Amino acid sequence: MKRRKLNVFSLSFIDCICCGLGAVILLFVVVNAKSAHRRDAVTSDLRAQVNRIEQQLLDGKKNLVESRNILSEIDADLVTTQGRSREIIKTLNEKKVELADRDKDTLASKTNVNKLKADLRSLEEELRRLKAGAKTQDDLGSRLRPFSGQGDRQYLTDLKMGGKRIFILLDASASMLDETVVGIIRRRNLKNDQKKSAPKWRQAVKTMNWLITQLPSTSQFQIYIFNETARPLLEHSKGTWLDAGAIDPLNLSAESLNRLVPEKGTSLLNAIKSINEMKPTPDNIFLLTDGLPTMGSSKPWRTRVSSKKRVSLFNEAILQLPKRVPVNIILYPMEGDPMAADAYWRLANKTKGSFFCPSKNWP
């Protein structure tokens, strides 16, 4: 039998080769697909990071642009500020020069003022010397207001109107209407014009006018009127000193005296308390009254006050007087008050003041 001839490249061999090649291709496809999936997973994270970095880079560029714009504005403001600073420094230097010139002017002015003061003191000294050497003076003399009296009744013995701060207290109670109890009761029911024309009250007003004319022109003064309460003669002058060298306060005081109407009771305590309101305290006090007080700081419930009680009210009141200040008393005595003269004389003597009971035709 003839042998069959062997062919290497037969159909079976080709099939095997093709199957193996297909298996290799299939394996490659499967492996490549897994690799692509893993690669996509890895690259997606990286891509996200890249996108985030790119966004940050974009934001940084925007911030950089804004920072550059702000820097440009700051540079412009700096230039403007430097220009203003130079102007301010220049103005400041000019003001310093002006201030130095003004200081020189002020020093010169002070020198002139001091010289004028020295000249004024010299003139005042010369004036005092001329006054001291003069034999006569004119009718008014050093008084700012005239007072017409009758002969020697214009002066008082030992009643000194000296002092830098003179305080005058005028009793304006109903008892100043008359010297007798019956006369007081009768007159206090009259009209105000008739009350003001009462002889005793007119004498007190004239005495006040005389005292005003005797005030030293270099002093200060204050006038209070009192009955149940105390108040300044000139409104809106409470607790303040008035200039005796000015004519207006003197004239206003005289005009106000003519409008006063005596009324109500007498509280010496409230009157003396008004003295303590003055700052600084007075160095001379004048008290014009007609008797001992009838009440203390408040009105009593009784209508009649005994002599003993009036003395007690007087002693209580004088305890409030400032220390070491002379009290000058001008007393207009009335009937039914015999202890008044002794009490007020003792007060004047104790304080080194003066005590005076004027005659009916004085001043």
Q: What is the pLDDT of residue 278?
A: 93
**pLDDT confidence band for 114 (50 / 70 / 90):** confident
Q: Do 291 and 212 reside in the same domain of the chain?
A: yes
The percent of residues above 70 in pLDDT, for the chain, comes to 84
| 121, amino acid identity | R
What radius of gyration do the chain's Cα atoms show? Answer: 56
101 within some domain: yes
Tell me how far apart the alpha carbons of residues 291 and 227 are, in angstroms, rounded to a whole number.
12
Task: Report the CATH number at residue 265.
Answer: 3.40.50.410
Give the whole-angstrom CA distance, residue 182 versus residue 336: 11
pLDDT digits (tens, 9 = 90+) for 253-282: 999 999 999 999 999 999 999 999 999 999
**Between 137 and 325, the higher pLDDT residue:** 325
Q: Which residue has the higher pLDDT, 248 or 301?
A: 248
Q: How confident is the model at residue 134 (pLDDT cuts 50, 70, 90)?
A: very low
The pTM for the full model equals: 0.60
Check whether residue 126 and residue 164 sit in a common domain.
no
Task: In whole angstroms, give the CA distance from residue 187 to residue 172.
Answer: 14
Same domain as 185, residue 96: no
SS3 assignment, position 232: strand
Q: Is residue 141 part of a domain?
A: no
Cα 233 to Cα 225: distance, rounded to the nearest angstrom: 6
- Cα(170)–Cα(161) distance, integer angstroms: 16
Contacts (Cβ under 8 Å, ≥6 apart) of 347: 318, 327, 329, 353
Q: What is the pLDDT at residue 137?
A: 43
> Domain check: are 91 and 194 in the same one?
no
- Residue 135, pLDDT > 50, answer no
CB–CB of 224/170 below 8 Å?
A: yes
Using the 3D structure, point to which of 111, 136, 161 is the last residue of a domain.
136
pLDDT score at 104? 73
What pLDDT is stored for residue 7 in this prediction?
56
Q: Which residue has the tokens 């002889």?
A: 199
CA-to-CA dists, residue 224 to 48, 210, 242, 293, 298, angstroms: 101, 16, 12, 16, 18
Are 182 and 256 part of one and the same domain? Answer: yes
**CA dist., res. 101 & res. 147, Å (int):** 54
**Domain hosting residue 127, numbered range:** 36-136
Size (the chain), residues: 363
pLDDT at residue number 227: 94
Q: How many domains does the chain have?
A: 2
* pLDDT tier at 1, thresholds 50, 70, 90: low
Last residue of a domain, one of 136, 159, 178: 136
Separation between Cα atoms, residue 325 and residue 329, nearest integer Å: 13
In a domain, 28, yes or no: no
Per the domain annotation, does 142 fall within a domain? Answer: no
| pLDDT the model gives residue 154 | 42
Query: Chain-centre distance of CA 271, in angstroms?
Result: 27
321 vs 303, higher pLDDT: 321
Q: Are residues 209 and 265 in the same domain?
A: yes
Mean pLDDT is highest, among 28-32, 34-38, 83-87, for 83-87
| Model confidence at 138: pLDDT above 60 | no
- Which pair of tokens denotes residue 304? 């009649």
- Say if residue 114 is in the same domain as residue 232: no
Measured between alpha carbons, how far is 222 from 333 in angstroms, rounded to an integer?
Answer: 25
Do 259 and 344 reside in the same domain of the chain? yes
Domain for residue 23, yes or no? no
Cβ–Cβ under 8 Å, residues 145 and 249: no
- If asked whether residues 165 and 246 sit together in one domain, one would say yes
Tell whether 14 is covered by a domain.
no
Please provide residue 318's backbone torsions phi and psi, each rounded to the nearest 5 degrees. Answer: -70, -15
Q: What integer pLDDT is reported at residue 9 of this predicted model?
A: 53
Residue where a domain terminates, one of 101, 136, 171? 136
Residue 263, token pair as written in the block:
């009324």
Instruction: Give per-residue pLDDT as tens, 172-210.
Output: 999 999 999 899 999 989 999 999 999 999 999 999 999
